[in-house]
Amino acid sequence: MAKISEIEPIVLAHSEKGSATWASVMIVVKVITSDGQVGYGEAVPTLRVINVYNTIKQVSKGYIGKEAEKPEENYQEWYKQDFYLARSFESATATSAIDQALWDIIGKELGAPIYKLLGGKVRDKIPVYANGWYQDAVTPEDFAEKAKDVIKKGYKALKFDPFGPYYNWIDEKGLKEAEERVKAVREAVGDEIDILIEHHGRFNANSAILIAKRLEKYNPMFMEEPVHHEDIEGLRKYKQHTSLNIALGERLISLKEAAFYVSEGLVNILQPDLCNIGGITVGRKVISLAEAFDVEIAFHNAFGSIQNAYSLQLASITPNLYLLENFYDWFPQWKRDVVYDETKVEDGHVKVPEKPGIGVSINEKLIESLKVEPKELEVLEEPVWVVKGTWKKY
């Protein structure tokens, strides 16, 4: 069997940044085997580009020389080696990206897309919801006009953060502004479109409960990360005071961490991210875990086009799929070009890619031309985790 001979972290950047500041760069992982097979994965950048880049180099020491066709065994071996894997975002995203690339290699070797290796698809097209569409939206009118444009593209659901610069606490003015934005979007798109409210895990429980009571009349499909990620008691309190669906999961980095939220009844729609949950190897297990507890899946999918391709593969095998997050129409063009723009959204759906492995072709020449040295991102008043130009009151 082919052995893993080389693992290369690659940082991609371009002058065109897009609406997602947290993903203004891409971190790609290229894995090469002893017989010349090549696979690609994607890691999470955010404010930790240098950290993740260097961690991929360290994690690679645990994978090089291992059999590429054994991602499960390789994951378990690294779990043994890295005492802090279950507590290290950097190690988790490095491991996830390498794992993705191994499944890409296996699929290419067998001449099949990944979904065929995992039991086959249950749908030919993946329903998606729009995110990233509201760059520079501040007033209710801004949100309404941009929301109308989204619906014209054929989307049946859209997500947005209406809370401006409020963090931890929100006052009456903030509640009024948020409500006016949500009301404007609901009136713009009508009652048959799902609206999804993004909190970015930044409020205490009392503020989150006030928000829920204020917005429930607009019938949001879910409230995403309503409280700080580590605030378990706050989440329990929130759950007791609202009947709205809770969505979370993008910051989970292990199967057992996901199992806690699911088994405790703290989540209705689980949002694992294939770039930090443990790649395909752990991601497929999380699907079954959620299914057993009647929890729906909506993969977090907010970074780049390689992540998007893997998310499409797993979404196709997920019987308990709600929708797949989608930034594709708001990616900078170069991200779409990395996969030759092969995952276009049509009428709110994406056809499941059928090429071996990841399902799409990778533009290796473009990757080479976009390659840069990793460097720190600037820290500005507007956090990198919000859609650009929205950290404002009006």
Residues taking part in catalysis:
200, 300
Q: How far apart are CA 284 and CA 261, in angstroms?
A: 17
**CB–CB of 12/367 below 8 Å?**
yes
Print burial letters for 250-288: b (CB count within 10 Å at least 16), e (below 16). bbbbbbebbbebbeeebbbbbbbbbbbbbbbbbbbbbbe
Q: How far apart are CA 103 and CA 211, in angstroms?
A: 42
120 sits in which H/E element: none
Q: Name 321's Cβ contacts closer than 8 Å, sequence gap at least 6.
A: 123, 126, 127, 296, 297, 298, 315
What SS3 state is found at 323? Answer: coil
Nearest one of 166, 152, 204 to 347, comparing CA atoms? 152
- Residue 16 Cα to chain centre, angstroms: 20
Nearest one of 113, 95, 94, 93 to 103, comparing CA atoms? 113
